[in-house]
Structure 1
Amino acid sequence: MRVLVAGATGVIGRQLCPALVAAGHDVVGLARSAPGADAGLAGVRIVVGDALDRSSIQRAVDEAAPDAVVNMLTAIPPEIDPKRLAEQFTLTNRLRTEGTRNLIAAAGGVERMIAQGLAYAYDPHGDGPANEDAPLWRKPPKPFVPVLAALRELEQSTRDAGGLVLRLGHVYGPGTIYAPDGSLLRQVRAGKMPLVSGGAATFSFSHTVDIASAVVAALDSDEAGVLNVVDDEPARMSEWLPFLARLIGAPQPKTAPAFLARLAVGSWGVAFMSQLRGADNTRAKNALDWKPRYASWRAGFATELGGLAAADAS
């Protein structure tokens, strides 16, 4: 199958494209500019196009002539300021709305359409990890409103095209904020990642290699709608953050009341650290005959970060 990956040079795309090549697919990557030789995209043909320019994306899709399209379009900055979330996500929101519409219109009639969503946008008022039938956040913090609106539109556009949205958890692995040189680890080392309201937020993680394997599995499936692509172990921030700090030899996180944290990180930052709800991956595992390599964030963190404390001490 010839697969066009929109966002081929992104964090997920760099894991996904080699996985698709290894699975025997003819892979074409869509990028705004030609990547360098160090992009890790051997065996991938690149077409250049701007998803926000309808004529540009039409030319790129026509050149690629794909059987399937995987939409991983984002422009998320490497370091997020929660007080500026709406501003920092303006371009990503446009890619999820205008870009998705343009991509679907240009690729009309393809056999398969798969897109990236979020599994931590569920309404926090519910018991246990959310499955795909749970509602998305009904009354989100104000900075998250445009982000959620863009996600809703992306999902609706993809579903109207008969496609599948993979709702991803907190993405970790090479190139992410959880990588050794990532912004989150810098904050943890500096003691700037506190446990707000006891660290009550529940996180579901998704390693980039597991996202890639889920996409590969989804291409062999006719499943439509939405699926949570996350690991098997949702965890409260009060559990995973101290584990990560010990793993990298950083100070244990301090605690902070919500009212004080709000001054530093705003309403979205407080909600992110105290209200998020985890997600359940049962439906994805059954529908796609898929299981994550890193069933637990513990194993994934240990693989990615386990040698950092010793290296820093040497």
Structure 2
Amino acid sequence: MRVLVAGASGVIGSRLVPLLTAVGHDVVALSRGPRRTAVLEASGARVVVADALDRDHLVAAVRQSAPDAVVNLLTAIPADVNPRRLARDFALTNRLRTEGTCNLMEAARAAGVRRIVAQGLSYGYQPGPGLANEDAPLWHDATPRQFVPVLAALESLEEQTVAAGGMILRFGHLYGPGSAYAADGAFTRQVRAGKVPLVGGGHAVFSFTHADDAATAIVAALDRDAAGVLNVVDDDPAPLHSWLPVFAAGLGAPAPKGAPAVLARLAVGGWGVAFMNELRGADNARARLALNWRPRYASWREALPATDTAAAEAA
């Protein structure tokens, strides 16, 4: 199968492209510029340069590539996100998830593509007890202001993809090479510096997804003619107050201290407080059944404290 990967040089894409080629797919990597061309070609992909926000150029590029399937991983998330300015930092990613997805869906239709897989997000569920399955409502009640445009863009991406007969894989907090949790990642640097407290008790429940597990789920989804939404996360959701001390200890960093939500709001804003104290974890039962998929890293405990070591061993 010829698979066009949009966003091929990102955290997931960099693990997906070599996996697709290894299992026998013909990979076309869509890139906004030539900077990553050599790396992508070394992974076995043919590179096509096109901006997803340039409709005419994108339609022409996809039609010329003649893919059988399209994988939409379009993002432009800064390496260091300021929670007080989340809407600003995600502005381009929001455009890619709305305008870019619209252009990509049009290009896919023009090229006769019928199989589409797109990257979603599993921690946009309305806070509540227990783990959220795919029927749970998204966060529309008392949504933190900075998260409103991010969630709206994600909903647009999902609606467009499902309308085109595609599948959305809602990934959890991504870790692995190139992520915020990598040895050189922004979150890791903050933890090493002792700058990540347990806000309001740290009750946010995190469902993690290793980039390699995201890649295997996409490969599994490409083998199935199915549409809809699936949570692709590990088997061990955990509150922040459980996993953050373990992560810090693995880095040799100071143990995280507690911080009242009222005071923390001044530093990280409403979204920062919600991110650390309100997120709801996700249930992966449907993905396991529908895709016959199992995470290689069933728990964040297996690889999160030593992300890059695990990735190097897997490469």
Superposed pair shares fold, TM > 0.5: yes
Q: Given the alignment, which residue of 229, 249, 263 partners 1:260?
A: 263
Identity %: 63
Q: Tell me the amino acid that sits aligned with residue 20 of structure 2.
A: L
Correspondence for 2:131: 129
In the alignment, structure 1 residue 141 sits paired with structure 2 residue 177: no
Note the 1:11-160 alignment, pairs <5 A.
11-34=11-34, 35-39=36-40, 41-108=42-109, 109-125=112-128, 127-139=129-141, 140-160=143-163
| C-alpha distance after superposition, 1:42-71 (max 9, x if no partner) | 210000101001011012101211000000
Correspondence for 1:310: none
Following superposition, the deviation at residue 22 of structure 1 comes to 0.8
Distance 1:179 1:123 in 2: 28
1:14, 1:40 within 8 Å by CA — same for their partners in 2? no
Change (3 A) 1:38 1:67: closer
Consecutive unaligned residues of structure 1, counting only runs of 5 or more, are 308-314
Distance 2:305 2:187 in 1: 16
Distance 1:76 1:102 in 2: 19
Distance 1:115 1:38 in 2: 22
1:49, 1:59 within 8 Å by CA — same for their partners in 2? no
Following superposition, the deviation at residue 210 of structure 1 comes to 0.2
Following superposition, the deviation at residue 138 of structure 1 comes to 1.6
Consecutive unaligned residues of structure 2, counting only runs of 5 or more, are 311-315
Aligned to 1:107, what secondary structure does the other structure show? helix
In the superposition, the TM-score normalised over structure 2's length comes to 0.95
Change (3 A) 1:289 1:266: same
**CA-based RMSD:** 1.2
Following superposition, the deviation at residue 38 of structure 1 comes to 3.8
Question: Where has structure 1 moved over 3 Å in runs of 4 or more?
Answer: 38-41
1:200, 1:273 within 8 Å by CA — same for their partners in 2? yes
Note the 1:299-310 alignment, pairs <5 A.
299-304=302-307
| C-alpha distance after superposition, 1:157-185 (max 9, x if no partner) | 00000000000100000000000000001
Correspondence for 1:312: none
2:114, 2:165 within 8 Å by CA — same for their partners in 1? no
Count of aligned pairs:
306
Correspondence for 2:234: 231
